[in-house]
Amino acid sequence: MGAGDMTAGETATRHLRIRSAIPWLVGVILLVANLLILRATDWTMLTATPGADWQIFVESSRRAFDGDLYAVEADYAYRYSPFVAYAFTIVQHIGPDAWRIAHVAALGLIPDRRIAVAALISWPFWFDLAAGNVMTFVLVMGAAALAGSRWGIAGFLAMSLLIPRPLMIPIMVWLLWKHPQWRPRFAVMFAVHAVAVGLTGWAGPWLSALIGSGAEMDSVLNFGPSRIIGALWLPIGALLATVLTWRGQLGWASLAASPYWLPYYFLMPLLELNRSGRRESFGAISSKTMSQ
C-alpha cells in the first residue's frame, strides 16, 4: 500500500470525523442561539395557564357540537380535523398542566437523544409547551418515523390527516416513497378519515378553513420570509422544499414547505441532527426502487 493510498485513507477518515462532528456543532449553535432568545423571553408565558392553543382546543370541543367549529374570530381559529376537536372533549379533562407535562415526556420517545436534548433546551419547544400546541408531538413522530419505527410512521401519517400542515408534506412523501408497504395502508387511512369527516358534515367548512390559513402570513408571530415578501414565498418555498426533500434534508424541507413560520415550527430543523437513515437521496432511492 503506497503513501498515496494512506493519504486518501487519512482524508476519508478526516471527512468522516467532520461529518460526525456536524450534529454536535449544530447542537452548540442551537444552544447558544436559544439561550439568547430565552433570555429575552417573557417567562410569565411559560407559567400562564391555560395556553392560547390549549384554549382553542378546548373551545373547539364545544363548538364541534354547537355548529361553528371553523368560525374565524379574534381569539379563535381552528383548522384541524373535527375528530381532534371531538377527542378534546376527553383530553381537556387532564388539564393544561398535564398537557404540558406530556410535551416533556414525549421527548423521551425520540430515538436520537441529541434531538431530544436539543429540543428540550430550545425556545420553539418551550413556546409550543406554553401555548399548548402539538408541534412537539409532530417532531417526536417525525423523528421516530425517519428512524424506521412502525409506530412512528403510523403516528406521523395519522397526524398528517388529523392536523395537516404543509410542513408535514416532505416527511410524508419521503415515508411513502421509502416504505412502499405503507402506501396502501395510508390510502385506507385517508379514505376512512375522509368518509368519516364527510359524515360529520364538517368537510366543506374544514376545507375553507385550510384555504384561509394563508392569512397567518401577516401574523406578528410569522418569522418566515413570507412576512417580508408575502405570497411570493409560496413558489420559492415549494421549489426549495422539493430540492431539499430530494436530497433527504427533511428538517429544512419541512420549514421551506410552510407558507409561514410560527415559533414552534423551528422544531423541525432539529431533525437534521441525525440523518443516518437518510444518507441516500430521494433520487438514489428512486433509482434503487426502479431497478428492483
Nearest partner of 81 among 22, 158, 141, judged by Cα:
158
CA–CA dist 32, 36 (Å, integer): 6
State the distance between the two ends of the chain, measured CA to CA, in whole angstroms: 37
Hey, what's the cell of 16? 468522516
Hey, what's the cell of 122? 430550545
3-state secondary structure 137-148: HHHHHHHHHHCC
Hey, what's the cell of 161? 390527516
**What pLDDT was estimated at residue 1?**
47
**How does residue 7 score in pLDDT terms, banded at 50, 70 and 90?**
low
Q: Cα 165–168–174 angle (5° rounding)? A: 150
**How does residue 21 score in pLDDT terms, banded at 50, 70 and 90?**
low
- Interval 221-272: pLDDT, tens: 888 899 899 889 999 999 999 999 998 999 999 999 999 998 899 999 999 9
- Interval 111-167: pLDDT, tens: 999 899 989 988 889 889 989 999 999 999 999 999 999 999 999 999 999 999 999
In what helix (H) or strand (E) does residue 184 lie, and over which residues does it extend? helix 182-200
CA–CA dist 80, 57 (Å, integer): 10
Torsion sign across C-alpha atoms 211, 214, 215, 219: positive
- Report the predicted TM-score, pTM, of the whole model to 2 decimal places: 0.82
DSSP letters along 118-168, please? HHHT-HHHHHHHHHT-SHHHHHHHHHHHHTT-HHHHHHHHHHHHHS--GGG
Contact 251, 268 (CB under 8 A): yes
- Residue 285 CB contacts under 8 Å (≥ 6 apart), including other chains: 177, 178
- Interval 199-234: pLDDT, tens: 999 999 999 988 877 677 877 888 889 989 988 999
